[in-house]
Amino acid sequence: MRLPLVVGNWKMNGTRAVARELAQAVRDGLKRPRGVEVVICPPFTALAAVADALAGSAVGVGAQNCHWEAAGAFTGEISPLMLVELGCRLVLLGHSERRHLFRESDEEINKKVGAALRHGLTPLLCVGETAEERRQGLTFTVVEGQLRAGWAGLSREDIGRCLLAYEPVWAIGTGVTATPAQAAEVHGYLRGLVSELGSKEIAPTVRILYGGSVKADNTAAFTQEPDIDGVLVGGASLEAQSFIAIARKSAAKGGSR
C-alpha cells in the first residue's frame, strides 16, 4: 500500500554547477526506479538548476523549508508559491536543524504545513527527540507533542496528504544511528497517532520515513521494518553512488508495500 520514499536533503551544500552535476548523476543512475519514489531537496539557489536537470525523469524535486505566506515583507524568506513555480512537489518542515538552530516554534511549523497544503505541496513534517530527552524517557512525549502541534487544525483529508519523518536529533550528522528496533518502536507509535488524528483508514496510507545518519550499509535494516516507509538522507545524499545505493536498497519487493 505504501511505496517507499527516499528523500535527499542536501542542506546548505553545493553551488548551482555542483548541484546540477550531482542531480544528473542521480538521474542517470535511477533512470527507471522500481518500487521506490525518490526526491532531492537542494538549497534554494540550486532549485532551478536541479529541476532543469531532472525534468522528465523519475526523480522529483523538493525544498528544505518555506514561509507560511505566499508573499509579503518577509526579507530572506521563500514562499510555497515560489517553490511550486520552481517545480517542487514536496517541502521539508520542522527539520531538527530548523527547530534547534533557528528556534522555529511548533506554531510556526504548523502554519507552514497549512500553507504547503494550500499551495499543492506535500509537507514532510520532521519530529524527533534530543539525546537528553531520550535519556529522560521523553521520546514518545516529544514526538507526540511535535506531531499534534504540527498537524493542528488539519482535516482528515489533509492529514492523508502529509508525510512524516522520525529523525532523532542525537543521530543527525553524528554518525550515531538509532537501531532498527528503536526506530520501529517510534514509527509504530507515530502510526497509532496518525490513526487517532486522522482515521484508521488513513493511518495505513501515510508514509513515515526514518532520518539520522542513514547510509547505504544500514538502509536495508531500517526499510525492512513494516512501519518504516523509506529514509530521509543527509550527508550520504551528497554522493551520487551512495544515494543511488540507498534508493535501490529501499525499494520494496514486488514494487510496493
Nearest one of 103, 188, 111, 100 to 150, comparing CA atoms: 111
Site of grid cell 550528522: 173
Instruction: List the grid coordinates of 159.
Output: 492529514
Round to whole Å and give the CA distance between 145 and 167.
15
Nearest one of 64, 51, 47 to 7, comparing CA atoms: 64
Q: Which long-range contacts (CB under 8 A, 24 or more apart) does 201-204 make?
A: 202/156, 202/159, 202/160, 204/1, 204/2
Identity of the residue numbered 87: G
Nearest one of 241, 237, 244 to 40, comparing CA atoms: 237
Round to whole Å and give the CA distance between 144 and 140.
6
Q: Is 138 in a helix, a strand, or coil?
A: coil
DSSP secondary structure letter of residue 251: P
For residues 244 and 30, the answer to whether their CB atoms sit within 8 Å is: yes
Round to whole Å and give the CA distance between 127 and 142.
8
Rounded (5°) CA angle 25-171-180: 85
What is the Cα 11 distance to its own chain's centre?
12
**Residues catalogued as catalytic:** 95, 167
